Structure 1
Amino acid sequence: WNALPGPHWADELARAVAATLASGRGALVVVPDGRAAARVDAALTALLGDGRHALLTAEAGPEKRYRQWLAVRRGSVRAVVGTRAAMFAPVRDPGLVAIWDDGDASHSEPHAPQPHARDVLLLRAAHDRCGFLLGSTSCTVEAAQLVESGWARPLVAPRERVRAAAPLVRTVGDGELARDEAARAARLPSLAWQVVRDGLRSGPVLVQVPRRGYVPRLACERCRTPARCRHCAGPLEAPGQRDLRCGWCGRDEPHWRCAECGATRLRAQVVGARRTAEELGRVFPAVPVRTSGRDHVLDAVPGRPALVVSTPGAEPVAEGGYAAALLLDGWALLARPDLRAGEEALRRWIDAASLVRGQDEGGTVVVVAEPTLRPVQALVRWDPVGHAQRELAERAELGFPPVSRMGAVAGRPEAVAEFLAAAELPPEAEVLGPVPLRPAAPGGPRRPGDPPAGEAWDRALVRVPPGMGAALAAALKKAQAARLARGGTLPVRVRMDPPDIG
């Protein structure tokens, strides 16, 4: 289900749950975070009344969450909405299992056996013979594969309806650069400033910045060499206006000098949300500037003129919709060394652009990224399904997931080599690697596959053709069990179909 742009998806999910309950069966809805769960909770309460459903989120606390779990287990409550852990909720006689925004990384459990909420709900739908609903404003490659295989059917609105509901999306292309030479190096070209000024006349304007902080990445002003720490070679960051600190070891760097040319002056390589809010506040001094990010996430903002600077995923809903939106530093999202970089960038952009008013109401979105790139063109056409279908076709040609099945084996180099030598892999299996894994930065964000800080780990990928996933999983499980039975002390992490192949 590709939902129309706007914040109304929670009401549609509530209607699907109400229809399921009216048929005499239960319903389960899994959403990525507490903010989304609160929206579905409010929509269900408005539609069904109090006490007709359970809310399972970490914010509720263990006592209330356990009380709700028992009510579901006993069958006194037959509808559940919650975050990732709710995928295992014991709903009696389920008639519908639904997941919203399956591309969000929060749906992937970081602890063993590391299930994904989408895969668990697919299994539950097949086991309980109930309906399965996958909804999002965007579209993942896995969702496109479900439709292409015939397992699922698409629920999409006519193109005319989509174009009317979606905002006008503009890019900084060659024509704009020809009229504004400064835009070649500027972070906010003239088109962006004009859209902000016009939007502030009628309502709030959203500014999406990929990075939080002040100046998260720095480089030499003269030769553009990335600024590195003298002690650990980690990237230097500017968490405040005058601070300079290593992003890995946390040491201050008061007297930095470029190792290539000897210069002492720095320039911003990536500008964070706090710095962006400060710059916009100086340009529009009479307009209030609000920020939303990891430390302080806003749920909603009033419909009055204001600048709302947000990191991806933390965009608040504006009353009546945003008048305009700027999607800055698109290269920072697209240049990530990840198989899903384009898909994830498009998902982030569409999620933000969905909060902007439609074209009929004058809503405009400006994306600052190379206009010829496929994700940018998909945003301009508002065609996430077409983008996912093309990605799926290319991955099928190259043998990438989700078309092929893949297992990841990570650990110390000697442990990985020993594991692969002992594993009885299927004859069709292809081993890619091992290759070194980059250590996790101390104090930085960690992903499930990151090695412990300070340790040198390798990772090998084992790929098999479609239909061989069960045989590969059995072989890896047997090899892991045999290694532990022999008393292996070095840790080896095994994961099927890792979502973050870089």
Structure 2
Amino acid sequence: MSSENDRTGSGAAAPGDVAGEQLALIRDTVRKAKEPRARPRTWRGAKLADPLPVARVLVDKGLLHLDQYFDYAVPEAMDADAQPGVRVRVRFGARVVRGRREGGELHDGFVVDRLTHSDYSGPLAPLAQVLSPEPVLGPDLLRLCRAVADRYAGALADVVQLAVPPRRVRPEGRPSADPLPPPAAPPPGSWTRYRDGTGYLDALAAGAAPRAVWTALPGPHWPRELATALAAALAGGRGALAVLPDRRSVARVDEALTDLLGAGRHVVLTADSGPEERYRSWLAVNRGAVRAVVGTRAAMFAPVRGLGLAALWDDGDSSHAEPHAPQPHARDVLLLRAADEGAAFLLGGPSVTVEGAQLVDSRWASPLAADRDQVRRAAPLVRTVGDADQARDSAARTARLPTLAWGVTRDALRHGPVLVQVPRRGYVPRLACERCREAARCGRCAGPLELGESGPAAGGTLHCGWCGRPEAGWHCAACGATRLRAQVVGARRTADELGRAFPGVPVRTSGRDAVLDRVPGEPALVIATPGAEPVAAGGYAAALLLDGWALLGRPDLRAGEEALRRWLVAASLVRPASGNGTVVVVAEPTLRPVQALVRWDPAGHAVRELAERAELGFPPVSRMASVTGTPAAVADLLRTVELPDGADVLGPVPLPVAPPGSPRRTGEPPPGERWDRVLLRVRPGTGGALAAALKTAQIARIARKAADPVRVRVDPPDIG
């Protein structure tokens, strides 16, 4: 066993003529290069495969300092099965003591190449087992994983774990169906509403690689439009891939694609399919039997043969960010694939992110949008209720819902369902002292106090949101008062209030505990948290977007962009203004995101956000990385890393210390422990150098056996 980068010397040189020693070394090197390579030796002298006795293996360790390939000998009995891309088991970390192999643990790995010889001059350990002759890590997928690992300063083995699903025996033993011939080019359908929409489809069907940022019109047509783009890529004789944020949107595109092309031309890759069915579908793609994939985040690595279109829907959704190391984003992975494989690219959604605006600004992609008259015909009427309006509105002061919202709801319920978007789940998720407005906290762990989701009318109790301890005799530590008020009212409380206000009207809730996919078109109140809005048959008659300040007031660089995206997703489910569809947003109308919603201009909002980011040097104009850990560990990494020229070091700043007993989320310090965070910012074009420098520094700390680890994340989504 040896690293591909290992080199062995012949021992230390004796003192003498340095120039003569160098000349002798050069002659010796040339002589050895001309000599034929000897066949590799194994520790037990087993008979090796011929003519490729060496397997270069990626060992599934996931450690930065072992992020390289290792050479193993291939026994003759494994010659036929140990081909590039297959899963194997190898013994890692073994030693040769007096001619015998000792120690070492068995690890899974992948054969990445077969060679005639190894750079390592010592004996090679043989492959322990070929787990399956099925090649699952092809050269294109391996190259993509390597690019993702380099971009995010991660280990290749970690990326391969994300890209290749766990093995299931039964699907591998079943042959996949024969691939179907390319279908006919689909009709453009509702793509005619967009400028250059028909031209984009024609280019896909002709086998070209157009790249576009698509601002989808509101309404129910986008699943069919996305399916049409996938079908056009298939008609051009190439593969197609669409990544969506959740299973509900995947189901809508799956249904549209099946209706357009029939069954058997695409597969769905989601966690809901179950591990065995998902692996069967993945194998069909890997074998080339199916050339179209629709799925959630993990499908970004789907090994589609001859990829012709990589599409991503709603890239601003946080579901597209992978939580496992090295935490890649689906948008960046698909951008890498499109550039490497020469595929078309389609970034679509009801909103436009700053990253999408940057792709258009750099002319890497073209805008794909509709004219203003088409937008007006498709969009609902948007009305606003600001702070001044609520101050003059007695109903808003007492019941939290302004008179305008009550009136719109009452009129809309005569014609269909009404969607109410609430930024928080639960009954009263956040409470504060009624007198001094100090946040109400648990006397034991200082966690936030909450009111049970059943509410006071059903006997809900005051309890801690961290430790769950009930708080019967609460009083304010600042002023001694005993009465509480709601800081943020949750979805359950809103459902109770509206249910009492509109007796006899069905009330449905959709949130984390139970997400509804669809609701009928009859009059009803549908209370939903952002991202859990169900689709209504025929569209909603109206939508209320409550507590806009809760979204806009977050201490986050993306607060305005994210608020607008959530509003647009909900408002897109409402009937157009010509069908009396109305949206009421409770937020200050002078704010930029609110104005963008009223005008239905997400692209203009993204362009202005991008200009401000460029002026301030914020992502995505610049590249950033966050470094978090104990103060000593962060300082040690900063001393070790060799940053690119012109890099800015922002910090360190202490992260909030979580009280003992509170739950720990990914990337947060343990309760009671202080962590610091440093942001590293570099100019455009030097992001790769920053990632390489951070990875090198991490390896150096591991080699020194530094005690405290440091978390490094390239392009963190939250720098607020």
TM-score greater than 0.5 by the shorter chain: yes
- Report the counterpart of residue 480 of structure 1 in structure 2: 698
Q: Deviations over 1:253-298 (max 9, x none)?
A: 1110011221111111111001110111111111000000011000
Change (3 A) 1:419 1:256: same
Q: 1:449 to 1:187 in 2, by over 3 A?
A: same
Contact persistence 1:187–1:329 (CA under 8 A) = no
**C-alpha contact (below 8 Å) 1:176/1:191 kept by paired residues:** no
- Give the Cα separation in 1 of the matches to 2:535 and 2:671: 37
User: Cα RMSD between the aligned structures?
Assistant: 1.6
Give, in angstroms, the shift of residue 28 of structure 1. Answer: 0.4
CA positional deviation for 1:360: 0.3
Residues of 2 paired with 1:243 and 1:330: CA distance? 28
Q: Give the distance between the partners of 2:611 and 2:398, measured in 1 at CA.
A: 35
Rounded Cα–Cα distance in structure 2 between residues aligned with 1:411 and 1:199? 53
Distance 2:448 2:695 in 1: 38
Aligned to 2:679: 461
Could you tell me which amino acid in structure 1 is paired with residue 408 of structure 2? V
Amino acid at match of 1:460: V
**Which of 434, 445, 451 is equivalent to 1:232?**
445
Q: Distance in 2 between matches of 1:8 and 1:191?
A: 30
Contact 1:439 1:450 in 2 (8 A): no
Alpha-carbon distance in structure 1 between the residues aligned to 2:623 and 2:256: 38
The one-letter amino acid paired with 1:494 is V
Match of residue 306 from structure 2: 93
Structure 2: distance between partners of 1:494 and 1:429: 16
The equivalent position to 2:533 in structure 1, one of 299, 308, 315, is 315
Give structure 1 stretches of 5+ with no counterpart: none
Instruction: Establish whether residue 428 from structure 1 lines up as the match of residue 640 from structure 2.
Output: no
Aligned positions of 1:73-222 closer than 5 A: 73-173=286-386, 176-177=389-390, 180-183=393-396, 186-222=399-435
1:277 and 2:490 correspond: no
Tell whether the 8 Å contact from 1:192 to 1:326 is kept in structure 2 after alignment: yes
| Residues 115-146 of structure 1: per-residue CA shift (max 9 Å, x gap) | 10000000100111110000000010000000
Q: Deviations over 1:306-344 (max 9, x none)?
A: 000000000000000000000001111111111111110
Deviation at 1:238, TM superposition (A): 1.0
2:662·2:671 contact (CA, 8 Å) conserved in 1?
no
| Residues 443 and 7 of structure 1, relative CA distance in 2, 3 Å threshold | farther
Q: Give yes or no for contact 1:329–1:369 (8 Å, CA) kept in 2.
A: yes
Distance of 2:568 and 2:228 partners within structure 1: 23
Equivalent AA in structure 2 for residue 325 of structure 1 = A
Cα distance, 1:178 vs structure 2: 7.4
The change in CA–CA distance for 1:302 and 1:163 in structure 2 (over 3 A counts) is same
Contact 2:649 2:680 in 1 (8 A): yes
Deviations 1:460-489 (A, max 9, x none): 001111121111111111101111111123
Aligned partners of 2:291, 2:541: CA distance in 1, in Å?
Answer: 40
- Structure 1 window deviating more from structure 2 (37-46 vs 174-183): it is 174-183
CA contact (8 A) 1:212 1:272 kept: yes
Cα 1:457/1:445, change in 2 over 3 Å: closer
The aligned residue for residue 411 of structure 1 is 629
Is the 8 Å Cα contact of residues 519 and 535 (structure 2) preserved in structure 1?
yes
Quickly say closer, same or farther: Cα 1:334–1:185, change in 2 above 3 A.
farther
Structure 2: 5+ residue stretches without partners? 1-213
SS state of the match for residue 367, structure 2?
A: coil
The residue type paired with residue 108 of structure 1 is A
In the TM superposition, 1:318-333 aligns within 5 A as 318-333=536-551
Note if 1:368 corresponds to 2:581. no
Instruction: Return closer, same or farther for 1:151/1:247 CA change in 2, 3 Å cut-off.
Output: same
In structure 2, give the amino acid aligned to 1:230: G
Report the Cα distance in structure 2 between the residues aligned to 1:177 and 1:205, rounded to whole angstroms.
Answer: 21
Q: Which amino acid aligns with 1:118?
A: R
Deviation at 1:179, TM superposition (A): 5.8
Deviation larger for 487-496 or 80-89: 487-496
User: Structure 1 178/453 Cα, relative in aligned 2: closer, same or farther at 3 Å?
Assistant: closer
Q: For the pair shown, which has the larger CA radius of gyration, 1 or 2?
A: 2
Task: State the match for 2:510 in structure 1.
Answer: 292
1:52-84 CA distances to partner (integer Å, 9 max, x unpaired)? 101000000110010001100010000001111
Sort the Cα spacing of 1:144 and 1:444 in 2 relative to 1 into closer, same or farther, 3 A. Answer: farther
Q: In terms of mean alpha carbon deviation, does 398-407 or 422-431 score higher? A: 422-431
Q: Cα distance, 1:225 vs. partner?
A: 1.7
Question: What amino acid is aligned across from residue 373 of structure 1 in structure 2?
Answer: L
Q: Secondary structure at the match of 1:154?
A: strand
- Which position in structure 2 is the counterpart of 1:16? 229
Asked if the contact 1:409/1:459 (under 8 Å) is kept, the reply is: yes
Seq. identity, %: 74
Matched ranges for 1:325-364 at <5 A: 325-364=543-582
Distance apart, 1:453 and its partner CA? 4.1
Against the structure 1 CA distance between its residues 362 and 333, is the aligned structure 2 distance closer, same or farther, given a 3 Å change threshold? same
- Superposed CA offset, 1:4-41 (max 9, x none): 10122111111011111111100000001111111111
Are the counterparts in 1 of residues 216 and 222 from structure 2 also a CA contact under 8 Å? yes
In the other structure, the counterpart of 2:264 is 51
Amino acid at match of 2:466: W
Letter paired with 1:42: E
Structure 2 counterparts to residues 61-76 of structure 1, below 5 A: 61-76=274-289
Shift of 1:183: 3.2
Partner SS state of residue 366, structure 2:
coil
Which residue number corresponds to residue 244 of structure 2?
Answer: 31
Distance 1:59 1:193 in 2: 39
Aligned partner of residue 91 in structure 1, secondary structure? coil
Q: 2:607 pairs with 389, 409, 413, which one?
A: 389
Deviates more, 1:167-176 or 1:101-110: 167-176
- Per the TM alignment, residue 149 of structure 1 is displaced from its structure 2 partner at its CA by 0.5
SS of 2:215 mapped into structure 1:
coil
Distance 1:258-1:382 versus aligned 2 partners, 3 A rule = same
Do the aligned partners of 2:441 and 2:449 also contact (CA within 8 Å) in 1? yes
- May I ask how many residue pairs the two structures share in their alignment? 501
Once residues 602 and 467 of structure 2 are traced to their aligned partners in structure 1, the CA distance between those partners, rounded to angstroms, is 40
Take 1:413 and 1:249, find their aligned partners in 2: how far apart are those partners?
A: 28
| Residue of structure 1 in register with 2:67 after alignment | none
When residues 315 and 328 of structure 1 are mapped into structure 2, their CA distance, relative to the original with a 3 A threshold, is: same
- CA change 1:467–1:337 in 2 (3 A) is same
Residue by residue, what CA displacement relative to the aligned partner does 1:341-364 show, whole Å, maximum 9, x if unpaired? Answer: 111010000000000000000000
Q: CA deviation at 1:250?
A: 2.4
**Relative contact order (alpha carbons < 8 A, sep ≥ 6): 1 or 2 greater?**
1
